[in-house]
Chains A and B, each alone.
Chain A
Amino acid sequence: MNTLLLVEDEPKTGGMLKQALESEDIEVIWAKNGKSALDQMENGKFDIVILDLKLPEMSGVEVLEGIRSVDKYVEVMIYSNYQEPPVMKKLINIGIEGYITKGADADLWNTVEMVKARLN
C-alpha cells in the first residue's frame, strides 16, 4: 500500500481528498500546517507528498525546503488554486514533480488519477 502525506489546512478540501484517495487504497496522513508536515516527514516514510502552498505560519516554499532537507527524492506535488510565476519558479528549482489545481478547475477524481499515475 502506498502512503501519501497530504498538507492542507482547509478542513473540507483535505477531508474530501483524503476520503477519495483512501477509497482507492492509498494510505493518507493528513498534516494541517507546515510544522506538523515536517514532523511527519521526520517520523515516517512517504511515497508522495501533496503540498498546499498557502498555509498558516509557514509558507509552501519553506515547507518544501524542509521536506527536501529530510528526503531529497520523495515525489512532491504542489496543490494550489493560484500560481504566481516567481513562486512557481522557486518551487521548481527546489524540486517538485507536479502541480494540481484547486479552485474553479478543481477535479477530485482527476486529482486521484494523477496521484495514482505518479505512484505507478
Chain B
Amino acid sequence: MNKVENLSHKEIDAKIFHIKHSENVAEAVALIKALYSELEHQKQKAALSELTLGISHELGQPITNIRYTVQYYRKLFEKTISVDLVSKIFDSILEETERMGRLIKRLAPLTSRQSIIEPYNLMNIIQNRVKAESIRLQNLKIQVKISPSTPIYIVGDAVKFEQLISNLLFNAIDAISEKKLREDNQIYIQVKDKDDEIKMTFKDTGIGIAAKDKIFEPFFSSKLPGKGEGLGLFIVWNILKMQGGKIRLDTRYKDGASFLITIPKTKSETKETL
C-alpha cells in the first residue's frame, strides 16, 4: 500500500531530523505521533485508491462478457435464431451478474454499517469456524491447535471477527494445500488476554509468502491463478483497522506464514469483563 505516498522520503527525513533534535521527550513524542498518523492516513488513502482501481477492473470483466455476448449473438440472430441458444445466452448473462454480486458480497464487511457491538467469547468463534472447515482440514490432514481452551471475552462485532478468522483460516488451508510435500501440517491459533488488548498469533506450516510487502493490498494474490481474488487479507486489515487493531506478518517465522494480531479492548468492554 505504498503506491500513493504523498509524503516524500525527503519530507519524512526532515520530520525525523526534527524529532531527533527536539528539545524534550514530550515534544518528540508529539512529533512521532503526528508523523505516524500522517503516514497511516496516507496508507488508507492508497488502499482506497487500490481498491477502487481493483473494483473497476473486477467489474469490467463481467461487463465486457455481457456486452460481447449480446453483441455477438445479436449479429448472429440476424440470420437465424434458436431457443436453445437464447437460453444459453441468458444463462451466460445471469452467470456474469452473479459474479458481480459475489464481489459486492465479498466487500460487504467493509461497507456494512450495521454492526452489533456486544460481548462475545472469541475462543468460541475460533473453535466454531475451525469446526465448520473440518472436512477440508481432515482431507488435507491438517491439525489445528487452539489455545487457550478457556473462554476469552471481548466487546465488539462478533460477525466481523468471524469473517477475520475465516479469511485467515482459508489462507492457511490454501497455503498448506499448495505445498508439494504435505507432512506434519499444522495451524496454530494462540490467543493471549492482556490488560488492555488481545494478542493473537495465527500461523501455519504452508508454503509461506514471498511478496511480503504487498499482502495487505486489495486484489493482490500470491495464490495460483484463479484461486484467490486477493481480498482476504485486505478485508482482515480493514476489519482490524475499524476497531483500532493491527496485523503484521512475522518475518522471522520461516516454516509457513505467521500473523501477529492485536485487538484493543474498549473501555466499555473492560467494565463488561470485570
Contact with B along A78-120 (1 / 0, CB 8 A): 0001101000000000000000001110111100000000000
Residues of A within 8 A of B17 (CB): none
**B92 at the A interface (CB under 8 A):** yes
A109 with B71, Cβ < 8 A, contacts A10-B65, A56-B225, A103-B64 known: yes
CA distance A81 to B72 in the complex (A): 19
**B244 at the A interface (CB under 8 A):** no
Q: Is the CB of B60 within 8 A of A12?
A: no
Q: Is the CB of B68 within 8 A of A103?
A: no
**A9 at the B interface (CB under 8 A):** yes
Q: Is the CB of B72 within 8 A of A82?
A: no
Q: Is the CB of B72 within 8 A of A19?
A: yes
**B1 at the A interface (CB under 8 A):** no
Q: Smallest CB-CB separation from B225: which chain A residue?
A: A56
A108 with B71, Cβ < 8 A, contacts A9-B225, A33-B225, A103-B56 known: yes
A103 with B60, Cβ < 8 A, contacts A12-B65, A33-B225, A57-B225 known: yes
- Shortest distance between the CB of A34 and any CB in chain B (Å): 11
Q: Contact check: which of A17, A33, A82, A106 meets B57 at CB < 8 Å?
A: A82
**Interface bracket on B:** 10 to 19
> Which interface residue of A9, A13, A109 has the most chain B CB atoms within 10 A?
A13
Contact with A along B226-270 (1 / 0, CB 8 A): 100000000000000000000000000000000000000000000
Residues of B within 8 A of A57 (CB): 225
**B69 at the A interface (CB under 8 A):** yes
- Shortest distance between the CB of B81 and any CB in chain A (Å): 17
Residues of B within 8 A of A20 (CB): 68, 72
**B61 at the A interface (CB under 8 A):** yes
CB contact list, A28-50 vs B, under 8 A: 33
**B113 at the A interface (CB under 8 A):** no
CB contact list, B67-101 vs A, under 8 A: 67-69, 71-72, 75, 92, 96
Q: Which residues of B contact A (CB under 8 A)?
A: 53, 56-57, 59-61, 63-65, 67-69, 71-72, 75, 92, 96, 225-226
Q: With contacts A103-B59, A103-B64 known, what are 9 further pairs, Cβ within 8 A?
A: A10-B65, A12-B92, A17-B68, A56-B225, A56-B226, A84-B53, A102-B61, A103-B61, A106-B68
Q: Which residues of A contact B (CB under 8 A)?
A: 9-10, 12-13, 16-17, 19-20, 33, 54, 56-57, 81-82, 84, 102-104, 106-109
Considering the complex of A and B, which 7 residue pairs feature the smallest CB-CB distances, nearest first? A103-B60, A81-B60, A56-B225, A16-B68, A108-B71, A106-B64, A12-B65
13 of the cross-chain contacts (CB-CB < 8 Å) are: A9-B225, A10-B64, A10-B65, A16-B68, A19-B72, A20-B72, A81-B56, A81-B64, A102-B61, A102-B64, A103-B60, A103-B63, A104-B60
